Amino acid sequence: VRASVLQSAYRLLVRNGLSNLTIADVAADSGVHETTIYRRWKNPLVLAGEACLAAMAEAIPPPNTGRLRSDLIDLAERIIKVLEGPSGRALLDICRIDEAKVNATRASFFQARFAAVAEIFTNAVQRGEWEGSVDYKFALEMLVAPIYFRALITQQPLKAWPAAAAVDLILAGLGTQTLAE
Amino acid sequence: VRASVLQSAYRLLVRNGLSNLTIADVAADSGVHETTIYRRWKNPLVLAGEACLAAMAEAIPPPNTGRLRSDLIDLAERIIKVLEGPSGRALLDICRIDEAKVNATRASFFQARFAAVAEIFTNAVQRGEWEGSVDYKFALEMLVAPIYFRALITQQPLKAWPAAAAVDLILAGLGTQTLAE
């Protein structure tokens, strides 16, 4: 039921926009009863937030390219692609909402995402590519934040963001000792 | 006239919030005629955006501590202080607006701010503290973005952001050769 509601909500959200998302439409599209949806998600904003973030998690699995550097570049580029794609507008609208429940959904989503993506670093350690520990949340915030900052605040083109240079800066700053090719 | 309108708008914005800002109130508070304000700013959102960003520029002059590292830390900490202060809510509300004129105001504001703050780096070169050139916009986006990302998107506490560690990461990544103390 949950997956079906979230999929319907996401489809309608991308098609019609955040301000046109209604629980009634999601009920009709998913075949789940309206009261069931209201009981669980309370309002369209909360539902939109959860649907959009779940879709993003699905669209961006943790990369596993075999190298830490290319994993991080891949991650940054996938985020840029999603934000510039058809669901980008809906996702950015969710980021613009300042409402307690949506804020809480978004906050826990990003914490969960950072934890899931942390395997990029543990994989690198297992490959012997990385020595020592790393504050992966700190590294991921440095990686991800400038992309959202451009999309939401400075309106600079995401495609022009030097993702590889940012990854190199972060890796140099973290003192990684990547093995020679 | 412009300064007086912006000051009134900012004062009312911080006191009453973005959704309660009206051109009529700004006219009454500033003593500038309503039609004059409408002619120049078109609507309360645009006026609020310009007022809020002007106030931020005034609250955060480019630091000049005598060292590049402490200049950058100072800058990050001042931004955090402003965002957590009484005008933080209004400024973040402006960042959440997705309206063409406000977006354009905000985009050009940040470009102008980055250009103004670039003197941190040119000062460091003049002091002999820094060798070679630096993409100051890139460095400043890396510095500033995580603070806004926390405030707007992940709702993590700004005070907990390791500003000094972020500066050290950026400086190490840029390959700065700061002189020994």
In whole angstroms, give the CA distance from residue A18 to residue A95: 12
Report residue A113 as tokens.
Answer: 């995402």
Of B96, B110, B168, the CB nearest to A173: B168
CA proximity to B88, closest of B13, B166, B167: B13
Interchain CB distance below 8 Å, A165 and B138: yes
Q: Does residue B112 sit at the A interface (CB-CB below 8 Å)?
A: no
Judge: A172–B175 Cβ closer than 8 Å, yes or no: yes
Query: Which two structure tokens, joined as six digits, stand for A12?
Result: 């309608």
Choose the mutation target among A106, A141, A161, A176 for the interface with B, i.e. most B CBs under 10 Å: A141
Residue ranges of chain A with per-residue pLDDT less than 50 = 177-181
pLDDT in tens, B54-72: 988 888 999 999 999 999 9
Confidence at residue A176, expressed as pLDDT on a 0 to 100 scale: 55
Confidence at residue A83, expressed as pLDDT on a 0 to 100 scale: 95
Nearest chain B Cα distance for residue A151, angstroms: 10
- Residue that is written with structure tokens 């009484």 in the block: B86
Calculate the average pLDDT of chain B. 91
Cα within 13 Å of Cα(B107), Cβ side? 13
Local confidence band at B178 (pLDDT 50, 70, 90 cut-offs): very low
- Describe chain A by its helix, strand, coil percentages, rounded to 5: 75, 0, 25
Can you read off the two tokens belonging to residue A88? 């980008």
C-alpha to C-alpha distance for B59 and B147, rounded to whole angstroms: 17
> Could you report the predicted ipTM of this complex, rounded to two decimals?
0.91
Query: Residue type for A174, please?
Result: L
The tokens of A97 are what?
A: 């909402």
Confidence band, pLDDT 50/70/90 cuts, at residue B130: confident
Contact B149 A149 (CB under 8 A): yes
The distance of Cα A123 from the centroid of its chain, to the nearest Å, equals 20
B159: its two tokens: 């005070």
Q: What is the pLDDT of residue A84?
A: 95
User: According to the model, what pLDDT value does residue B176 have?
Assistant: 55
- Chain B interface test: which of A95, A96, A154, A169 (most B C-beta within 10 Å): A154
Q: Is B108 on the interface with A (CB under 8 A)?
A: no
> Rounded to whole angstroms, how far apart are CA atoms A123 and A134?
12
CA dist B22 → A148, B19, B41, B81, B88 (Å)? 30, 8, 12, 27, 20
Residue given tokens 């973290």 in the structure block: A174
Residue B163 has pLDDT above 90, yes or no: yes
Q: Token digits for A85?
A: 């794609």
Residue B181 has pLDDT above 50, yes or no: no
Distance (Å, rounded) from C-alpha A73 to C-alpha A68?
A: 9
Q: Which of B106, B111, B146 sits opposite A141 (nearest CB)?
A: B146
User: Which of A169, A170, A178 would you mutate first to test chain B, the one with the most B CBs within 10 A?
Assistant: A169
Interatomic CA distance for residues B80 and B161, integer angstroms: 9
Nearest in space to A105 (alpha carbons), one of A150, A54, A146: A54
> Pseudo-torsion of CA A16, A52, A90, B18, nearest 10°?
110
Which residues on chain B are in Cβ contact (under 8 Å) with A173?
Answer: 168-173
Q: Which amino acid is at A103?
A: N
Of A98, A144, A172, the CB nearest to B173: A172
Q: Assess B154–A contact: CB distance below 8 Å, yes or no.
A: yes
d(CA B83, CA A81): 30
CA dihedral (A95, A100, A104, A105) positive or negative: negative
User: Average per-residue pLDDT in chain A?
Assistant: 91
Name chain A contacts of B104, Cβ cutoff 8 Å: 155
CA distance B96 to chain A (A): 5
Q: Which amino acid is at B33?
A: H
Closest to A37 (Cα-Cα) out of A5, A13, A10, A67: A5
Q: What is the pLDDT of residues B9-25, one digit of tens each?
A: 999 999 998 889 999 99
Q: Is A36 exposed, middle or buried (0-12, 13-18, 19+ CB in 10 A)?
A: middle
Cα-Cα end-to-end distance for chain B: 48
Residue A181: what pLDDT? 36
Tens digits of residue pLDDT in A126-152? 998 887 778 899 999 999 999 999 999
Residue keyed to tokens 């599209």: A29
CA distance B88 to B75: 16
pLDDT at B172: 87
Neighbours of A11 (CB within 10 A): 16
Q: Nearest C-alpha of chain B: how many angstroms from A138? A: 8
What are the C-alpha distances in Å from B157 to residues A8, A61, B84, B152, B153? 34, 27, 9, 11, 11
Contact B150/A at CB under 8 A: yes
pLDDT score recorded for residue A138: 95
Q: What value does the mean pLDDT take over residues B67-85?
A: 95
Please state the φ and ψ torsions of residue A63, each to the nearest 5 degrees. -65, 155
Is A160 an interface residue toward B (CB < 8 Å)?
Answer: no
